[in-house]
């Protein structure tokens, strides 16, 4: 063979070498962005910190030393100088209600400081009057508020039905309890939903009654509240789209790049699908259809996860509720509350939301279909219910990994936590309860039991990967505060609640990044700063692992990056 012939044979080989990166000159395309000059917390155990990160086409393409990563710089590369700030993975929402964006923009904020302005019944009524004026609510139209915590008002109670009737003689009024599991209604609102003295209290529900009679006093919780809540008036489609468009910035400004809609009704999912298909979602959204909606959502087919996002929206599991809230005293326990129930019940333990047989059947239906199961359970009796249903539905092998998540799992006992570990059930804890409701839990449940709420440290010791959440709109969207409360566990009054369950800032960061991604089965693409993963990133004003623990809550989100593009900036 001639020399020319040999060279002709070598040309394809040389081309392959250059295009596959075996020769550095043509190995790798230039990055779109480089991040340098600050602290980079990767949440990757094999490379916990880095000096620089390169991003190209929405993915992380290099993580390492400044010199190595700067080699990816090209003529069009944007070099971002962190200027001493901190880069972390995008935050993964452990549990919230995305559709609550509508509530927070159309209803009165009736929460108490620091989440809201209300310190008294008069403040709540004033907040309702302001929303009526701002939204130009006419006679006969609903006036609604959210976030009301009677335990924090000066009077230690909701506004009475009579007070609401006097303040709003021409309007039905509906004030949602801070837990999201109940409400206080005035007479016109009760009449609108035909709640009367003849209305029986449903199983798993609470209807408050006037003293010495069956006349409803306006207090509704759980299964007495849910059907009405689902029928409340809402804005029209165009207004809803506008609210979701602007409202999602509440998630983005919190650094959240993957959010959850944690109990999705069919009409809500349809609206979210329209919103997503318009290209309006700036973050990934995981929807969890509520168990009663699965036939409608899945068109009669077995419930199953959608493996891929469609325009940033996917179904990631199914939601079941087994009890209520501990702060509303509707969580189900095996022992009585130390105080009277929400309607004055003595020896009150709370109740399961649905009969155990029904919960068993639902869990089996979800498992048989292959969807991921997310179960709301707060009290230890509700957690017993989840464990029993899991055992029932597991076809003799409860240790088989199914990705099941116990949402809240607040008052879990140690033996139940050990069973979570053995049966591979992930707890999605709620350490913000230590601050917002910890003092209330001590009064209602006693110090010993309250000390063990959301036991992150014990869960980690058992090899679990707990996540953490805000349960928005029960609490504001603030991922740094989830870290802060997991590290500090301090109540409103300054008491340390469960010092033994405090975790490190890095462990708390992992709970809302890599372990959050793991909960959704997305740990291979999200949750840490690693080559090949999506460039979902957050720039913080300071390093949460370096500041004093008491100052973590002061750290600000400065910029949120979704797949390499800035979607929010302070």
- In this structure, the answer to whether residues 378 and 452 fall within a common structural domain is yes
Instruction: Judge whether residue 38 has pLDDT over 60.
Output: yes
Instruction: Judge whether residue 23 has pLDDT over 70.
Output: no
Question: Residue 27: what pLDDT?
Answer: 60
- In this structure, the answer to whether residues 504 and 379 fall within a common structural domain is yes
- In this structure, the answer to whether residues 392 and 263 fall within a common structural domain is yes
Structure tokens at 428: 């999605």
Cα angle 87, 89, 93 (rounded to 5 degrees) comes to: 130
140 in any annotated domain: yes
- Say which CATH number the domain at 263 has: 3.20.20.140
- In this structure, the answer to whether residues 206 and 321 fall within a common structural domain is no
Query: pLDDT tens digit string along 123-159?
Result: 999 999 999 999 999 999 999 999 999 999 999 999 9
152 in any annotated domain: yes
- Say which CATH number the domain at 150 has: 3.10.310.70
| DSSP string covering 526-556 | SSS--TTSB--EEEESS-TTTS-GGGGGG--
Cα angle 176, 220, 162 (rounded to 5 degrees) comes to: 80
For 406, the 3-state DSSP assignment is strand
- Per the prediction, the chain carries an average pLDDT of 94
Q: Could you give the CA distance from residue 215 to residue 162 in angstroms, rounded to a whole number?
A: 13
**Averaged pLDDT, 248-273:** 97
- In this structure, the answer to whether residues 183 and 110 fall within a common structural domain is yes
126 in any annotated domain: yes
Per the structure, the complete domain to which residue 484 belongs is given by 256-528
As for how many domains the chain has, the answer is 2
424 in any annotated domain: yes
Confidence of residue 231 (pLDDT cuts 50, 70, 90): confident
Q: Could you give the CA distance from residue 88 to residue 101 in angstroms, rounded to a whole number?
A: 25
For 321, the 3-state DSSP assignment is strand
- In this structure, the answer to whether residues 203 and 345 fall within a common structural domain is no
**Averaged pLDDT, 430-459:** 98
- In this structure, the answer to whether residues 129 and 226 fall within a common structural domain is yes
DSSP bridge partners of 34: 54, 79
Residue 540 is inside which H or E element, if any? Answer: strand 537-540
57 in any annotated domain: no
Q: Could you give the CA distance from residue 473 to residue 149 in angstroms, rounded to a whole number?
A: 13
- In this structure, the answer to whether residues 198 and 287 fall within a common structural domain is no
- Please, what's the b/e burial string for 471-489 (b: 16 or more CB within 10 A of its CB; e: otherwise)? bbbbbbbbbbbbbbbbbbb
Instruction: Please choose, from the candidates 218, 209, 120, the residue with its C-alpha nearest in 3D space to the C-alpha of residue 161.
Output: 218
Question: Residue 548: what pLDDT?
Answer: 98
250 in any annotated domain: no
- In this structure, the answer to whether residues 480 and 341 fall within a common structural domain is yes
Query: pLDDT tens digit string along 533-548?
Result: 999 999 999 999 999 9
- In this structure, the answer to whether residues 208 and 277 fall within a common structural domain is no
Query: pLDDT tens digit string along 274-309?
Result: 999 999 999 999 999 999 999 999 999 999 999 999
Structure tokens at 441: 């839990």
- Rounded to the nearest angstrom, the gap between the alpha carbon of residue 442 and the centroid of all alpha carbons in its chain is 24
Residue 432 is inside which H or E element, if any? Answer: helix 432-436
Instruction: Judge whether residue 44 has pLDDT over 60.
Output: yes
Question: Residue 4: what pLDDT?
Answer: 33
Residue 26: how many other CB atoms lie within 10 Å: 13
**Do 371 and 304 touch, CB atoms closer than 8 A?**
yes
- In this structure, the answer to whether residues 271 and 223 fall within a common structural domain is no
34 in any annotated domain: no
Please state, for a pLDDT cut of 90, what percent of the chain lies above it. Answer: 92
- In this structure, the answer to whether residues 179 and 264 fall within a common structural domain is no
**Do 118 and 112 touch, CB atoms closer than 8 A?**
yes
291 in any annotated domain: yes
- Please, what's the b/e burial string for 431-449 (b: 16 or more CB within 10 A of its CB; e: otherwise)? bbbbbbbbbbbbebbeeeb
Residue 336: how many other CB atoms lie within 10 Å: 14
Confidence of residue 29 (pLDDT cuts 50, 70, 90): confident
pTM score: 0.92
């Amino acid at each position: 063979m001639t020399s020319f012939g040999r060279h002709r044979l070598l040309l394809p080989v040389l081309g392959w070498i250059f295009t596959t990166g075996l020769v550095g000159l043509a190995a790798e395309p230039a990055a779109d962005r480089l991040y340098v000059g600050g602290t980079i917390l990767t949440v990757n155990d094999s490379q916990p910190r880095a000096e620089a990160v390169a991003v190209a086409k929405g993915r992380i393409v290099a993580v390492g030393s400044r010199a190595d990563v700067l080699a990816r710089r090209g003529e069009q590369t944007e070099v971002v100088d962190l200027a001493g700030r901190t880069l972390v993975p995008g935050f993964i929402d452990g549990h919230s209600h995305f559709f609550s964006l509508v509530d927070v923009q159309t209803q009165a904020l009736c929460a108490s400081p620091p989440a809201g302005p209300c310190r008294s019944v008069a403040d709540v009524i004033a907040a309702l009057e302001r929303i009526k004026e701002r939204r130009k609510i006419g006679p006969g139209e609903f006036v609604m508020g959210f976030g009301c915590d009677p335990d924090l008002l000066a009077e230690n109670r909701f506004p009475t039905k009579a007070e609401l009737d006097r303040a709003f003689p021409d309007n039905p009024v509906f004030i949602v309890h801070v837990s999201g599991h109940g409400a206080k209604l005035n007479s016109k609102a009760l009449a609108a939903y035909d709640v009367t003295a003849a209305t029986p209290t449903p199983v798993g529900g609470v209807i408050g009654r006037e003293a010495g009679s069956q006349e409803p006093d306006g207090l509704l919780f759980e299964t007495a509240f849910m059907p009405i809540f689902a029928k409340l008036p809402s804005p029209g489609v165009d207004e809803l789209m506008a609210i979701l468009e602007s409202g999602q910035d509440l998630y983005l400004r919190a650094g959240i790049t993957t959010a959850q809609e944690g109990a999705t009704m069919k009409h809500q999912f349809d609206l979210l699908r329209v919103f997503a298909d318009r290209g309006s979602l700036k973050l990934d959204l995981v929807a969890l259809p509520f168990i009663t909606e699965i036939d409608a959502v899945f068109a009669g087919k077995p419930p199953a996860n959608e493996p891929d996002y469609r325009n940033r929206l996917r179904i990631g599991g199914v939601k079941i509720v087994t009890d209520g809230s501990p702060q509303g005293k509707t969580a189900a326990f095996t022992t009585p509350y130390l105080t009277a129930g929400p309607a004055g019940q003595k020896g009150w333990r709370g109740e399961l939301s649905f009969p155990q047989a029904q919960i068993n059947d639902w869990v089996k239906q979800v498992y048989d279909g292959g969807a991921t199961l997310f179960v709301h359970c707060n009290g230890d009796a509700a957690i017993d219910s989840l464990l029993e249903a899991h055992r029932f539905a597991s076809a003799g092998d409860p240790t088989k990994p199914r990705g099941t998540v116990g949402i809240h799992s607040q008052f879990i006992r140690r033996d139940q936590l050990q069973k979570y570990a053995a049966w591979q059930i992930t707890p999605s804890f709620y350490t913000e309860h230590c601050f917002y409701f910890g003092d209330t839990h001590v009064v209602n449940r006693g110090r010993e039991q309250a000390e063990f709420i959301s036991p992150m440290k014990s869960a980690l010791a058992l090899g679990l990967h707990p996540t953490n959440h805000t349960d928005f709109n029960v609490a504001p969207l603030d991922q740094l505060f989830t870290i802060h409360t997991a590290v500090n566990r301090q109540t409103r009054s300054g008491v340390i609640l469960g010092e033994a369950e405090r975790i490190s800032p890095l462990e708390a960061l992992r709970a809302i990044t890599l372990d959050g991604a793991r909960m959704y089965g997305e740990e291979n693409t999200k949750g840490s700063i690693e080559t090949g993963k999506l460039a979902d990133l957050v720039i913080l004003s300071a390093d949460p692992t370096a500041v004093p623990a008491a100052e973590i809550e002061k750290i600000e989100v400065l910029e949120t990056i979704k797949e390499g593009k800035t979607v929010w900036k302070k």
